[in-house]
Structure 1
Amino acid sequence: MADSPTLPRPPAGETPTVLVIGGGASGNAVTILLRRAGMDVDLIEARPDWNATTGSGITLQGNALRVLRELGVWEQVAASGYAFGSLGVTAPDGTVLFVAEDIQTGGRDLPATLGMQRPQLQQILIDAVRASGAGVRLGTTAEILDQDADGVSVRFSDGTTGRYDLVIGADGLNSATRAAIGITDKPEPTGMAIWRTAAPRPASVTRTDLAYGGPAYIAGYCPTGENTIYAYLVEACRDRAAIDPAAYADEMRRLAQGYGGAWPEITAHITDPGKVNYTWFDRLLVEGSWHRGRVVLIGDAAHCCPPTMAQGAAMSLEDAVVLAELLSSGQDWGDELLQAYYDRRVPRVRTVVEASVQIGRWQLDGVRDADMAGLIGRTMTLLKERP
């Protein structure tokens, strides 16, 4: 494959063609935005179900909600989720130690925070992609065959081929696109892992509450609708191969039984191992550039961080906005433009990744006088600025 060929914008009058590999938050978002700009976009997703049924819940802060509003789906998101504006910190027994007002990183006209069921968010984005008129192929992967000054040639897993002016790799943490273009960065475990599950919402749960200490490093929950929450417990990494998935509910329930407050009511519903997810925390930040020639990375393919600040989806959604804005600006689609995308995104993403990792590291190291509140406050204040 040629090394970083010059990438001119297609000639005037020709409609640019873009292939988006991956139908998660960033891939869906960039597809919607590029279609709105009048480009021909194909989106492929490896999973036949388009990830529409997986995941428990997601916490979206204001800067993520701002992007969802730009995508035109804010009303659906607001109707599906549960908005709130504060964060409680409790002792393991449930005693509330203090309540802090969340920073409205999306502006005063949006909630500070909204929780929702992850499959509902995905379905809202799926519907918006379909309504955009983009070409969609599910259960499909792509192999990059070659690229030159005129485009990128790809072969799809069904044996067909295609050629595009630009390929966007939005295929997640273990991105095959990232490896295919010669970027050798890989995600690294941070030493922590998380148990997650959905549950009915106790009447007392109207915001996220976090307990630090007890059987786990963090015990928390987030309301995701009038009748639902998702609950999570963060512990040190264990060998995933040594944990029988049939015992997932038992393992999570064992940890949860060490917490009071709303937790006994939540714990009573942790019974189905198929509804419990166990995942390690990872860190990734590709340095230098997020593109090689006509192939560019967004979202988790370029960066990821632990959910200790609930900013992973927000950073991915912001990538889509910035990249779509640059591609729609009328500038040549060359190295200069794609490098500008990286240069614009990386200081903000690096701040979030490093802060998210640091919060976990303080806990792993048992640092009792860490300025966690100060670090979170500084980072969230920065995110009030548009990306």
Structure 2
Amino acid sequence: MTDLHPRPRSVLVVGGGAAGNAVTILLRRAGIAVELIEARPDWNATTGSGITLQGNALRVLRELGVWEHVERAGFSFGSVGVTAPDGTVLFASDDIRTGGEDLPATVGMQRPRLQRILIDAVRASGATVRLGTTAHSFTQDADSVTVRFHDGTEGRYDLVIGADGLRSATRTAIGIADRPEPTGMAIWRVAVPRPAGVTRTDLAYGGPAYIAGYCPTGENTIYAYVVEDNRDRASIPPDSYADEMRRLTAGYGGQWPDITRNITDSSKINYTWFDRHLVEGPWHRGRVVLIGDAAHCCPPTLAQGTAMSLEDASVLAELLTTRADGDGSLDDLLTEFRARRLPRVRTVVEASVQLGQWLLDGVRDADVPGLMERTMTALKERP
């Protein structure tokens, strides 16, 4: 059997989210031929409200060469506040700079803006991009993977990277049985105009919901969110989303009355359950490997989901582009990739779930600040 050389010459990336875009950019920089396919014709460039990017995410975005664009498009800040439901600020603390002292602790930005920045970088990299395209099957031999697409075409690649998200069809196709599980919570998100007094993330615990918070995403915008018990989504008509979110936010003071007045368009509100997911076994089968949400995801209680996906892309690209042929096998490299990522990802997933579980259980003396500080301090170390 032919040895699985660690440095591929041709790669298919399935999924054009943060992980897929990032690994495409990095592999193209090393001269590897990359084809990226994305199921959505709009490349997810128009959906989503806001995103919180902490320093370790910014570190990868700098590696990608897009940090300056992100800095201009977003809103940088360095602290987080905790308020009572009536808006009284209970305390504020400096965020840990997980990306190093030369980067902000946190940047909030509109999610579509980040996606468009990454799209532009993928286009500039010279990668082949096919939108509205999905993979139908993967057939492997010792030397390559033959991928049959849903439009009937085929391609042959040295490596396939499954970056197709939480409901990954790639994961299912290669026989990995792990599936995401709901945690019992759900989140309402919306983008609205930024009140003048909002210059950082503030969180209110308790009141009509478990958490009510907001994050500045630009000079004129924020995204606001409330976390509650998950409900049967079929029981909530989409055209009632604005009414439902206003009902939850109306019980909060401080900046919330200004925010609530602007929650008017149900089509701009996102309602999502919290899930937890971590593939416990190998993340690859032969020449097909999972990264990002396809391999792991966590509730947004630590705002680390995108950061973990970006770090996956960085580490995998590093391993693929710095190993010479003959320096071990591709199987060894992909095993090393999982071994390097798993402890860090597990720490984030378990801490994110625990923060939510304490709220679900009504634990009033939980060491929330301690858990958050320990987790974020660990993330200062390079992945």
Q: Is the 8 Å Cα contact of residues 327 and 333 (structure 1) preserved in structure 2? A: no
CA contact (8 A) 1:8 1:149 kept: no
Matched, 1:86 2:76: no
The DSSP-based 3-state class of the residue aligned with 1:386 is coil
- Which residue does the alignment assign to 1:238? 231
> Within 1, Cα distance between the matches of 2:328 and 2:235?
52
1:192 aligns with 2:185: yes
Which residue identity lines up with residue 129 of structure 1 in the other structure? Answer: V
What is the rounded CA distance, in whole Å, between the counterparts of 2:201 and 2:306 in structure 1? 17
Q: What SS is found at the alignment partner of 2:311?
A: helix
1:340 corresponds to: 336
Q: Offset at 1:366?
A: 0.2
> How far apart, in 2, do the equivalents of 1:123 and 1:278 lie?
23
Q: Is the 8 A contact 2:2 2:143 kept in 1?
A: no
> What's the counterpart of residue 355 of structure 1?
351
> CA 1:102 to 1:139, structure 2 compared with 1: closer, same or farther past 3 Å?
same
- Matched AA of 2:338: Y
- Give, in angstroms, the shift of residue 157 of structure 1: 1.7
Would you identify which runs of 4 or more consecutive aligned residues in structure 1 move more than 3 Å? none
State the 1:334 CA deviation: 2.0
Q: Using the alignment, how far apart are the partners of 2:266 and 2:19 within structure 1?
A: 29
TM-score with structure 2 setting the length: 0.98
Give, in whole Å, the separation in 1 of the partners of 2:337 and 2:202: 36
What's 1:223 paired with? 216
**Counterparts in 2 of 1:1-387, with a 5 A limit?**
7-9=4-6, 16-329=9-322, 330=324, 331-387=327-383
Structure 1 residue 333 displacement after superposition? 4.5
Q: Distance in 2 between matches of 1:212 and 1:171?
A: 33
Contact 1:84 1:112 in 2 (8 A): yes
Give the secondary structure class of the aligned counterpart of 1:205.
coil
Indicate conservation of the 8 Å contact 2:57/2:99, yes or no.
Answer: yes
- Secondary structure in 2 matching 1:296: strand
- CA distance in 2 between counterparts of 1:158 and 1:243 reads 35
Q: Distance in 2 between matches of 1:69 and 1:169?
A: 23
Over the aligned positions, Cα root-mean-square deviation in angstroms equals: 1.1
Q: Secondary structure at the match of 1:288?
A: coil
> Partners of 2:357 and 2:131 in 1: how far apart?
39
Instruction: Tell me how far apart the structure 2 counterparts of residues 182 and 158 of structure 1 sit (CA, whole Å).
Output: 23
Residues 5 and 293 in structure 1, CA contact (< 8 A), matched pair in contact too: no
The Cα of 1:156 is off from its aligned counterpart by 1.3
Distance 2:4 2:163 in 1: 20
The amino acid of 1:8's aligned partner reads H
Instruction: For residue 227 of structure 2, give the secondary structure of its aligned residue in structure 1.
Output: strand
Contact 1:5 1:148 in 2 (8 A): no
Query: Could you tell me how far apart the structure 1 residues matched to 2:280 and 2:92 are?
Result: 37
TM-score normalised by structure 1 residue count? 0.97
SS at match of 1:309: coil
The residue matched to 1:221 in structure 2 has which SS?
strand
Partners of 2:185 and 2:2 lie apart in 1 by 40
Cα deviation code 1:208-249 (max 9, x no counterpart): 000000000000000000000000000001000110000000
Quick one: distance in 2 between partners of 1:57 and 1:6? Answer: 45
Q: For the Cα contact (< 8 Å) 2:298–2:352, is it kept in 1?
A: yes
The one-letter code sitting in structure 2 at the alignment partner of 1:334 is L
Return 5+ residue gaps in structure 2 as ranges.
none
- Secondary structure of the residue aligned to 1:328 is helix
Contact 1:43 1:135 in 2 (8 A): yes
